[in-house]
Amino acid sequence: MLGSRIINTKDLTWSVDVNGSTLSNKISDLPVSELYSGSISGPGLSDVNANIYKNGYAAGSFFMLKHLGYDKDGKDIFEDKTGDGLINADDRQIFESALPKFNFGFNSQVRFRNFDLSVAVIGQTGGYLVNNTALDLNINSLASDRNVLRKYYEDGANIANAVQLSSLYLEKSDFVRLNNVRLGYTFSIRQVPWMQSFNIYVSAQNLVTLTGYSGYDPLVNTTKTVGGNQSLGVDYATYPAAKTFLLGATVKF
Amino acid sequence: MRMKTTQLHKITCAFLTLAMVSCTDLNEEVIDEVLGNNNANPENALAAAYGQMGDGTFVDHGSVFALQEYTTDEALLPTRGSDWGDGGKWRAIHEFTWAPDNAVLTTTWNQLNAGITKSLTAITTISNSGDSPDKAQLMAEAKAMLAFYTYHTLDLFGQAPYRDPLTLNAPLEARQAATAIDELIKDVETVLPDLADLGQGRTHNGRFTKQAAQAFLADMYLNRAVLKNRYAATFNFTEPAVDNNGTDMDKVIFYTTELINSGRFSLETNYFRNFDIDNNGRPELIFVVSQDINNLRGSDNDFVYMPMERNQKPSPLNRGTNASCITPEFYQTWEGNHEDPRFQRCYQYDDGTWFKNDGTDVSVPASSNVVGGNNQVWFHFNRGMQVGQQYGPNLISATNTFERTPDGRIKVVKLYCEKNTTLEMNFTPELNFDNPSQAVFTQDQINRGVRPFKYEFDPEKDNGSSNVDIPLYRLGGIYCMRAEAYFRKGQADLALADINKLRTTRTREALYNNAPGAAIAGPLTAQTLYNETGFELYWEMYRRKAAIRFGKFEAACTAKPVSQPVRRIFPIPQSTLDATEIFTQNEGY
């Protein structure tokens, strides 16, 4: 973490601090061959797990078929890892982990005369999410013959494709979020002896998120434990973080 | 004061540290308390051992049934568009690509292991109980159940766990099929005199009686050569029996003949009567998983819920789930034999109306109500193989009732698939997978495959419960075993007589003048005999064992390549290998 008061005058002060953390981990000495977690929800997805814990791989690594695209009929093409001409559970491969490799934050506080403005930005890179919600929504199955996601259709997928968890639903969870903005104005009211100061402000939380992630919120982690093993990085129908606006006042006595 | 506080902290810390490092060896000396695992009464402990059969093991399609049937030409559970992909765990069983992490294998292994454990507990409990008039009988039943679960585990996985139930803290052992099969036969032969005759001592066909034990012994002797030399190109079926008195096949003939000549059992003329909701105590049933819909324990409707389509609704509150079907190869074996009473049977309503399911039906009476509670009108589907375009009631979802004709009867309409409302519910014998080696249907193909409605759908409670007792041994199967034993002894004429006894005893419904099935002419070939056992025992968890004995298990089939003999048994689940070192993984996995 680095912090600095860049400007410090009577009328103007500006301080900035940034922080960042990196994470790199690898499982070792797991006394079993492998453990699964991150159960996937939806029809035709019983006993399907997205996470694997295995020696030599990061916690929260993903385990699934690799999606390569669609053929001329819109059928899924998966990587035939075993090279036997068949696509089945043996072709699953381990993908990078849900855990972000780098988390960062940026905070800025400016005071100009009676105005004050503070801004907080957070973000992460290097992590992945399984968009289980999208997988479920692409299942064209209900009696109503419901729709699928626009992107799925426009990418040329055949909507009659069988349900299959694959890297098609594995997305980067990188994002930058304007997490908090606060603008205030302080009145100095000398006429009222019992009041030291009076500050009114507007603030917003979760104002803007820049991300390539197609789900609601790249910062989710739906609880999807399997046999007590923690799940990491599954997004299934999680209610997104709210965007909050506040108008407030601070009175100091 | 400050000094005192500090000291108090120090003392507390010391105690806490002590508390954390002490008690590591907690061997309790039992003086007079009753330990939890010893306080069950003998009947309860034995009931738990029986109960495990109906707790998924032999009644859920995803356990023993999956391994004995989905591996063969009799059944498969393909991915059907949005459903039954399930990470490929069902396909893998039919495509012969299962691995030690397959959830179906793990489930089956764990359920059979639970049966072994509960049987061992029953033996311990009965052994520790006071003398009672039926103690010997209860002990014999518990030992027979232990042998039964162990046999199925050895048959499927080649190994089974065991712990001496009469020695405290006895070590866990792994029994191996090749040697344990003889021990199991001896164990069951030893307890046989202590078992009750069916009906004696408050027994019924859901308990191990002398008759169940005879059927079990015939089954073990029929498969003994396979268990002794699993990967062999041919099996030595006529080696001397365990007691050196005759051969394995002589023993099969002996025990099956005992049952056939006992006068206790008889073949149903209506074959499907064996699988009816009220099949309790029927004369052909020797040993069953007794099922009842009540609040005491669960039951399972899977064996008919699975093949039935979602828009096939036995009542406005019930439906099938459009899952399992048979292969084109198995359907082909019925070619020229569609008049066999076991192939198909139409339902006749009490006013004389037949449901023919051929497009000519207009309506059926709405006078039949679901038995046992929900007072819904009951639409009876036909039994046996359901082929081609399907017809049935139309559910009006707004009122949740069946569409009626002006005269108040249930209108019969052409059916479409529920999850693809423009797709005709046409159960085609051909599966025609896009990729012939993968049992995957797109959403446009979910109608395919012939569905056997062998077991009656029980709409009493929900889609998952049933009063149908699941036959494990019945007289029809006993004839099949004897026919095979005669055949392997070179007495093909006697084998043919048994097969024709089955064929000609069954009769068709009144719509076809109660015509009996036709006898077949000799000479009986192995292929014919194999087909005939399929006609009699399809979807009864018999096919995989028969396929191995007849050398059919490795052959290619729809969505199944030619396989290696190592696939005759399944791998020990990875989770078990991770947890214990007593098992070594089976060859080839």
- What average pLDDT does range B516-524 have in this prediction? 95
Q: Percentage of chain B surpassing pLDDT 90? A: 87
Task: Read off the pLDDT of residues B124-163 as tens digits, 9 standing for 90 and up.
Answer: 999 999 889 999 999 999 999 999 999 999 999 999 999 9
Q: Residue A13's beta-bridge partner residues? A: A8, A111
Q: What is the pLDDT of residue A110?
A: 96
Of B102, B438, B445, the CB nearest to A86: B438
Amino acid, res. B547: A
Q: What is the pLDDT of residue B1?
A: 43
Q: What is the pLDDT of residue A142?
A: 53
Task: Read off the pLDDT of residues B206-257 as tens digits, 9 standing for 90 and up.
Answer: 999 999 999 999 999 999 999 999 999 999 999 999 999 999 999 999 999 9
From residue B553, alpha-carbon distances to A160, B96, B557, B562 in Å are 33, 11, 10, 9
Range list of β-strands (E), A25-163: 35-39, 49-53, 61-64, 67-70, 76-78, 93-97, 102-112, 115-125, 128-131
Nearest residue on chain B to A160, alpha-carbon basis: B443
CA separation for the pair B226, B207 (Å, rounded): 27
Suggest the residue from B443, B572, B580 to mutate for an interface test with chain A (most A CBs closer than 10 A).
B443
- What average pLDDT does range A180-192 have in this prediction? 88
What residues of chain A lie within 8 A of the CB of B444, using their CB?
160
Lowest mean pLDDT among A234-243, B279-288, B563-572: A234-243
Suggest the residue from A47, A91, A92 to mutate for an interface test with chain B (most B CBs closer than 10 A).
A47
Please answer yes or no on whether B434 and A139 come within 8 Å at the CB atom: no
A144 pLDDT band, cuts 50/70/90, is: very low
How many Cα atoms sit within 13 Å of B417 on the Cβ side? 27
Q: What is the pLDDT of residue B24?
A: 54
Of B87, B418, B441, the CB nearest to A89: B87
- Residue B119 CA, distance from chain mean position: 19
Q: What is the pLDDT of residue A159?
A: 84
- Residue B143 CA, distance from chain mean position: 21
DSSP state, residue B53: I
Please answer yes or no on whether B579 and A46 come within 8 Å at the CB atom: no
Suggest the residue from B82, B441, B564 to mutate for an interface test with chain A (most A CBs closer than 10 A).
B82
Q: What is the pLDDT of residue B28?
A: 65
Q: What is the pLDDT of residue A195?
A: 81
CA angle B59, B60, B65 (to 5 degrees): 80
- To which H or E segment does residue B161 belong? strand B159-162
- Residue B283 CA, distance from chain mean position: 20
Question: CB–CB of B184/B170 below 8 Å?
Answer: no
Task: Read off the pLDDT of residues B41-95 as tens digits, 9 standing for 90 and up.
Answer: 999 999 999 999 999 999 999 999 999 999 999 999 999 988 999 999 999 999 9
Task: Read off the pLDDT of residues B52-63 as tens digits, 9 standing for 90 and up.
Answer: 999 999 999 999
Q: What is the pLDDT of residue B43?
A: 93
By residue count, chain A amounts to 253
How close, in Å, is residue B80 to chain A by CA atoms?
A: 7
Q: What is the pLDDT of residue A143?
A: 45
Token couple for B572? 């020990």
Question: CB–CB of A27/A33 below 8 Å?
Answer: no
The ipTM is 0.83
Does residue A224 carry a pLDDT above 60?
A: yes
CA separation for the pair B309, B311 (Å, rounded): 5
Task: Read off the pLDDT of residues B446-455 as tens digits, 9 standing for 90 and up.
Answer: 999 999 999 9
Does residue A123 carry a pLDDT above 50?
A: yes
Q: What is the pLDDT of residue B39?
A: 57
**Burial bucket for residue B497 (CB in 10 Å: 0-12, 13-18, 19+):** middle
Tracing tokens 């399609």 back to the chain, one arrives at: B61
B18 and A CB contact within 8 Å = no
Please answer yes or no on whether A90 and B91 come within 8 Å at the CB atom: no
Of A33, A140, A143, the CB nearest to B418: A143
CA separation for the pair A168, A76 (Å, rounded): 10
What residues of chain B lie within 8 A of the CB of A159, using their CB?
443
Nearest residue on chain B to A63, alpha-carbon basis: B87
Q: Residue A124's beta-bridge partner residues? A: A103, A175
Q: What is the pLDDT of residue A96?
A: 94
Of B85, B92, B101, the CB nearest to A163: B85
CA separation for the pair B376, B458 (Å, rounded): 12
From residue B476, alpha-carbon distances to B127, B265, B267, B270, B473 in Å are 36, 10, 7, 12, 8
How close, in Å, is residue B134 to chain A by CA atoms?
A: 42
Task: Read off the pLDDT of residues A77-107 as tens digits, 9 standing for 90 and up.
Answer: 999 999 988 899 999 999 999 999 999 999 9
The residues in B 41-100 lying below 8 A from A, measured between CB atoms, are: 79-89, 91-92, 95, 97, 99
Task: Read off the pLDDT of residues B325-344 as tens digits, 9 standing for 90 and up.
Answer: 999 999 999 999 999 999 99
The dihedral sign for the CA sequence B400, B406, B411, B416:
negative
What residues of chain A lie within 8 A of the CB of B442, using their CB?
75, 158, 160-162
Name all contacts of B239-247 with Cβ < 8 Å and 24+ positions apart.
B242/B182, B242/B185, B242/B186, B242/B189, B243/B189, B247/B489
- What average pLDDT does range A145-168 have in this prediction? 87
Does residue B371 carry a pLDDT above 80?
A: no
Q: What is the pLDDT of residue B503?
A: 98
Q: What is the pLDDT of residue B301?
A: 97
The per-residue b/e assignment along B540-572, b for 16 or more CB within 10 angstroms, e otherwise, is bbbbbbbbbbeebbbeebbbbbebeeebbbbbb
- Cα dihedral B526, B531, B532, B533, rounded to 10, equals 90
Pairing mode, strands A35-39 and B440-441:
unpaired
Question: CB–CB of B117/A77 below 8 Å?
Answer: no
CA separation for the pair B428, B448 (Å, rounded): 5
DSSP state, residue B565: G
Q: How many CB pairs under 8 A join A and B?
A: 99
Q: What is the pLDDT of residue B179?
A: 97
CA separation for the pair A70, A156 (Å, rounded): 7
Does residue B5 carry a pLDDT above 80?
A: no
Task: Read off the pLDDT of residues B478-501 as tens digits, 9 standing for 90 and up.
Answer: 999 999 999 999 999 999 999 999
B416 and A CB contact within 8 Å = no
B575 and A CB contact within 8 Å = yes
B13 and A CB contact within 8 Å = no
CA separation for the pair A83, A105 (Å, rounded): 45
CA separation for the pair B54, B34 (Å, rounded): 30
Q: Which residue has the higher pLDDT, A212 or B18?
A: A212
Please answer yes or no on whether B101 and A34 come within 8 Å at the CB atom: yes
Q: What is the pLDDT of residue A141?
A: 60
Nearest residue on chain A to B573, alpha-carbon basis: A33
B442 and A CB contact within 8 Å = yes
- What average pLDDT does range B429-438 have in this prediction? 96
Task: Read off the pLDDT of residues A30-89 as tens digits, 9 standing for 90 and up.
Answer: 999 999 999 999 888 999 999 999 999 999 999 999 999 999 999 999 999 999 888 999
Nearest residue on chain A to B80, alpha-carbon basis: A162
Please answer yes or no on whether A160 and B442 come within 8 Å at the CB atom: yes
What residues of chain B lie within 8 A of the CB of A48, using their CB?
85-87
Averaged pLDDT score across all residues of chain A: 92
| Neighbouring C-beta atoms of residue B512, cutoff 10 Å | 12
Averaged pLDDT score across all residues of chain B: 93
Does residue B575 carry a pLDDT above 80?
A: yes
CA separation for the pair B125, B322 (Å, rounded): 44
Of B97, B437, B578, the CB nearest to A90: B97
B439 and A CB contact within 8 Å = no
Q: Percentage of chain B surpassing pLDDT 70? A: 93
B441 and A CB contact within 8 Å = yes
Q: Which residue has the higher pLDDT, B467 or A137?
A: B467
Does residue B38 carry a pLDDT above 60?
A: no
The dihedral sign for the CA sequence B457, B462, B464, B465:
negative
Please answer yes or no on whether A89 and B88 come within 8 Å at the CB atom: yes
Please answer yes or no on whether B83 and A43 come within 8 Å at the CB atom: yes
Q: What is the pLDDT of residue A140?
A: 72
